[in-house]
Structure 1
Amino acid sequence: MTSTARPRLGWHRLPVAALLAAGALTTSVVVAQTDETDTPDTDASTWVEHEAGIPVTDPLTREKCGTCHTADDKGNLSRISWIRSTPEGWAQTIKRMVKLNGLDITPQEARAVTTYLSTYHGLAPEEAKPVMYLAEKRILQSEAIVPNDTLRETCASCHAFAQPMSSRRSHREWALLQNMHRALYSTADFIYDTPVGSGYDEDGGSAPEDGKPPVKQATAALEWLSKNAPLHTPEWAAWRPRIKTPQLAGKWLVSADLPGRGRFVGEMTVAPKAPGSNEFVTSTVLRSLEDGSVHTRKGSALIYTGFSWRGTSDGAAKTTAPDDLDSKLRETMWFAPDQALAMGRWYWGEYHEFGFDVTLRREAGAPAVAAVSSDALKIGSKGTQVHIYGANLPTSLTPTDVDFGSGVTVSKVVSATPNEAVVTLDVAANAVPGLRDLSVGGAVLAKALPVYASVDYVKVTPETALAHLGGIKFAKGYEQFAAYAYSNGPDGKRGTDDDFAIRPIDVTWSLAEFTTTTYDNDVKFVGTIDPAKGLFTPNVEGPDPARRFGRNNYGEVWVVATAKDLKGADGKPLIGRSYLVTTVPTYKRWDQPEVSE
């Protein structure tokens, strides 16, 4: 979702597909050498490529791509050697080559080429991590991601900003990408040629007072991405010699959070399909900390670039509901370069709307901590039992072996096993509120336990949400909401950077009208929300004769969470809310599934 105070282009003038791809968040700066003819007013296809390419060494890639992409005496293939991208980015490119240029390639060959290119012409771990949210199918607010209005207008008006940020290119290649968008998408010319700062004014903007021609959006975007997302970066130079077959076999401690369903802990066993392979099989057991239910899964995965996990897994039980925890999951994770930690999302749903936020820690014999419960401690509380979940925990713990920081005292160790320790905590009346790190047996879990003075407000996640009508000819797109108690933090002000989540809370869920038109009554037509679970189920698609003008059941509503046991200073229950848009099904799907399918 994007929003901006600038004037926006009307819906009938927006492109139907992608516009210019922009760069990533790396701070590295490489300014490309250019000829005098390499100007925005000349065709980029006539420019001379000055930057050093990355040779293509894989025989299959050279065979399949070399018929159109010419080779030079250094082993470079035209275009390809001056681009780096993610697995999804290269897969998308191969599909475009098949559809538009007649590339003859089998699925097995396509996977092999994608594996090679995303590994040896890919992103370094530090470059890939900020854009993982695209492969993880997360929806983020663009205001916190897009660096300026020009990139918001030329790129993020159509893409998630991670789409352009998922590649690195030479200056010439970024310009050629502009050419492609101009050729394929009719409104790209309009957006690119508007002056910077014009805000899509109908007259194209007025000339600056100094009389110089205004800088076009395309020129400004090309300059930014050439400097901030160049082909050659320090991160890539450092990672390139370290690329190797990942050594992930063994046991991994799992901690996971599922909105609306709470936290889970467990263990994943990973084994290679063959010696030296980048393909793995998995067996996972997850236990809910909310209700104690246990869920087992079997799966497989492929590792790209030495750190990008793309996999699937199936639950052991038969699924009976759209939000069933035993549903088939897609697994997308980023592994740290030392291969001791991984983070990502395991998701499912027609629109990828359900998903675990997952962290994996390698079990290597040393103590490791996955999670703690209870959810939070109030300042001044005494005798609260807290469970510590992990692996290889010391069984002879003493109170001094467990540390939650100053003001929190471990008064007693109730029990201790290798996988779980139970301790009793006292919190001083003058303890500093905030998220506390836990140290036990040499293992540290950052931000493990919130300590708070008071609950100041309720926050609903996601704060803005999207659901899709369906159930007749198209599948429904659900939305799961969760409510959290929040603290204003040390500054005492709501909505500032030091605010922190305290714990999930019990609420009653309801829908309220988001007034846009006096007669629309969206709350009666868009769907229903489970008052206890917070699961929104959209209505069916298609014209509704019960609705004015026979309109579809789309609309905008507030999702309201009313706390059951928390009250504000006025004595009334605390309330949080989220903005929900329920829209029509995605009638046309572009063929860009994840690589591992």
Structure 2
Amino acid sequence: MNPLLTAGLTGLALLLPPALAQASPGSDAINRYCSGCHQPQDGPESWSRISQQRKTPEGWDMTIIRMQTMHGVTVPMEARRDIVKYLSDTRGLAPEESAPQRALIERRLNRVESFDHPTFQAMCARCHTGGRPLLQRRPQKEWERLVHFHVGQFPTLEYQSMARDRDWLDIALNDIAPWLGDSHGLESEAWQAWQDNGIDSPDGDWQLWGHWPGEGDFYADVTITAADGEDAYDLTLDGAFTDGRQLDGEGQAMVYTGYEWRANLNLNGHDFKQVLDLAGDRPNGRIFDDRDEAFGIQVEMLPADEVATPALVASQPAALQAGMRGRLVLLGHGLGKGGIDLGEGVTVHEVVERSDSRVVLDVETASDLTPGWLPVQVGEADADTLLAGYQTVDRLELSPDLGVARVASEATPAVSGVFSAQGYLDNPEGDDIPLGRVPVTWSVAPWDEIAEDEEDVKYAGTLDAATGIFSPGGAGPNPLRRFDTNNAGNLRVTASVVGQEDVQDDAHLIVTVQRWNNPPLR
């Protein structure tokens, strides 16, 4: 993600329709650097083509980059920041409009797309993700212009796979463009409602929690304070992993469109990017390594302010195994006083930490713990489906089902394969009970006979048996391999429950070449 979008986490001011908006550094920069081609129309805050589109912050920034690379436009970095901020605020997407594509915005790899249109995949989602155009809003005429741009900019498009077997241009103009104009048009009730309402500034105290691959579950107190600049913020994190190790951090952020949070973070000496959706009661999103996006941390946040109704909202871990002792972290509101009861078979040895929003306990489970949901009571807050107990794991499920890792070279860093294993308990009375991450051992094997013959396991990289993190090898050519090929591979990743080796699941891992084109929205 480029530095423009990751400058920080931002708060939201009430947004006015473009015609009523006050002059801003962003609109001034558009007049200075863009209006030579995009002429003002329908008032001082409206420009041809520009005002007929709505996009995410990343989408608007990619537009500016395209103007620079294809048309030689010179836009200083400060002006570029101002333009993206202004256009995201006044011509962005409402939370309901961006919600279906949050995985793309958060740079979550290994996702599988599906679309409501029967030919959209072949027509638009074979060169880039389908989510990339679906994170835009245009009237039909603008969608038609986008089709013409593609044909003009990429003249071989109609001769490529899944295009040369059909009348691509006719389908694009007379089927796809009308469909997009209807389903992803410029005007929408959601966008109007968002402009009329918006949300409050995020400055204040929050509680954040998540799982760091290879490190474990963590929680943190987050303080967000307004910084210099519109919707700019500083933040600090003071937390710990559930095993007691310290977790500290700080960062800077910007909020776009009133809810699109973009931040640079440093956590325990590691640099990360952060993308959050602030629109809901529990803001959520992803923290990730921009150099290796597979290393990502899905997080949620809660305001630390007291609320009228005490509630339990999260447990770390999600389940307790019989005959074990360790730390249990319960998160929520109104947890600062009152008795603590985790049900029969769970003993609380010590209250390690307690506040209104968090309780950290030293607990021990009986060897004959009854499997199933555990009744949890902390003061006036209770939950019947928050924490599970189990003796053995009935089923294991790996994520992702199909992962893609990429080898490293001097010019491009590796993209790792990061897998997780979720355990389940059979429940005859309803849905299986999720146990969260359970202890497993990881292994890797050839996917098929060809991979075995090519010794892919030997050359493609290594899988950490404890964490499920696959580290690809270097690029190539490799003189030790047949035909001096690179270190690609076709692998099977297996997780087996510790002590129950027959309870396991497999995932497919393809180790392939570097990614040379790496925009924020692919």
* TM bucket, shorter chain: 0.7 to 0.9
Alpha carbons 1:260, 1:480 under 8 Å: kept: no
Paired position in structure 2 for 1:71: 40
Paired position in structure 2 for 1:183: 152
Note the C-alpha offset of 1:437: 9.6
Change (3 A) 1:126 1:358: same
Q: Is 2:442 aligned against 1:509?
A: yes
Paired position in structure 2 for 1:372: 315
Paired position in structure 2 for 1:4: none
Among 113, 131, 147, the residue aligned to 2:101? 131
Among 213, 219, 230, the residue aligned to 1:277? 230
Paired position in structure 2 for 1:151: 120
Alpha carbons 2:94, 2:191 under 8 Å: kept: yes
Paired position in structure 1 for 2:255: 303
Note the C-alpha offset of 1:393: 3.8
Paired position in structure 2 for 1:578: 507
Note the C-alpha offset of 1:92: 0.4
Among 282, 291, 295, the residue aligned to 1:350? 291
Paired residue secondary structure (2:75) = coil
Instruction: Write the mapping of 1:188-227 to structure 2, written as runs, cut at 5 A.
Output: 188-190=157-159, 200=162, 204=166, 216=171, 218-227=173-182
Paired position in structure 1 for 2:478: 544
CA RMSD of aligned residues (A): 3.6
Paired position in structure 2 for 1:11: none
Paired position in structure 2 for 1:116: 86
Note the C-alpha offset of 1:165: 1.5
Paired position in structure 2 for 1:484: 422
Note the C-alpha offset of 1:166: 0.9
Paired position in structure 2 for 1:331: 274
Note the C-alpha offset of 1:150: 0.9
* Letter aligned with residue 95 of structure 1: I
Note the C-alpha offset of 1:331: 0.8
Alpha carbons 2:157, 2:163 under 8 Å: kept: no
Paired position in structure 1 for 2:300: 359
Distance 1:410 1:508 in 2: 28
Alpha carbons 1:374, 1:385 under 8 Å: kept: no
Alpha carbons 1:397, 1:413 under 8 Å: kept: no
Distance 1:544 1:388 in 2: 48
Paired residue secondary structure (2:453) = coil
Note the C-alpha offset of 1:243: 4.1
Alpha carbons 1:512, 1:559 under 8 Å: kept: yes
Number of residue pairs matched by the alignment: 491
Paired position in structure 2 for 1:9: none
Paired residue secondary structure (1:61) = helix
Note the C-alpha offset of 1:283: 0.7
* Letter aligned with residue 507 of structure 1: V
Paired position in structure 2 for 1:286: 239
More displaced stretch, 70-79 vs 170-179: 70-79
Paired position in structure 2 for 1:105: 75
* Letter aligned with residue 272 of structure 2: L
Paired position in structure 1 for 2:265: 313
Paired position in structure 2 for 1:45: none
Distance 1:488 1:309 in 2: 39
* Letter aligned with residue 334 of structure 1: D
Note the C-alpha offset of 1:179: 1.0
**Cα deviation digits, residues 457-511 of structure 1 (max 9, x gap):** 222222211112125554222222222223455589xxxxx55532322222221
Alpha carbons 1:265, 1:370 under 8 Å: kept: no
Alpha carbons 1:409, 1:425 under 8 Å: kept: no
Paired residue secondary structure (1:141) = coil
Among 186, 192, 198, the residue aligned to 1:237? 192
Provide TM-score, normalisation by structure 1.
0.73
Change (3 A) 1:172 1:447: farther
Note the C-alpha offset of 1:382: 10
Change (3 A) 1:201 1:215: closer
Note the C-alpha offset of 1:585: 2.0
Paired residue secondary structure (1:224) = helix
Note the C-alpha offset of 1:535: 2.1
Note the C-alpha offset of 1:545: 1.2
Note the C-alpha offset of 1:551: 0.9
Distance 1:285 1:138 in 2: 26
Instruction: Write the mapping of 1:11-26 to structure 2, written as runs, cut at 5 A.
Output: none
Gapped runs of 5+ residues in structure 1? Answer: 1-52, 192-198, 206-212, 317-325, 493-497, 568-572
Alpha carbons 2:123, 2:162 under 8 Å: kept: no
Distance 1:425 1:527 in 2: 39
Change (3 A) 1:89 1:247: same
Alpha carbons 1:372, 1:387 under 8 Å: kept: yes
Distance 2:375 2:92 in 1: 35
Paired residue secondary structure (2:185) = coil
Note the C-alpha offset of 1:530: 1.8
Structure that is richer in strand per residue: 2
* Percent of aligned positions that are identical: 26
Greater RCO (Cα-Cα under 8 Å, separation 6 or more): 2
Distance 1:105 1:577 in 2: 49
Distance 1:228 1:217 in 2: 15
Alpha carbons 1:409, 1:426 under 8 Å: kept: no
Gapped runs of 5+ residues in structure 2? Answer: 1-16
Paired residue secondary structure (1:216) = helix
* Letter aligned with residue 104 of structure 2: L
Note the C-alpha offset of 1:456: 2.8
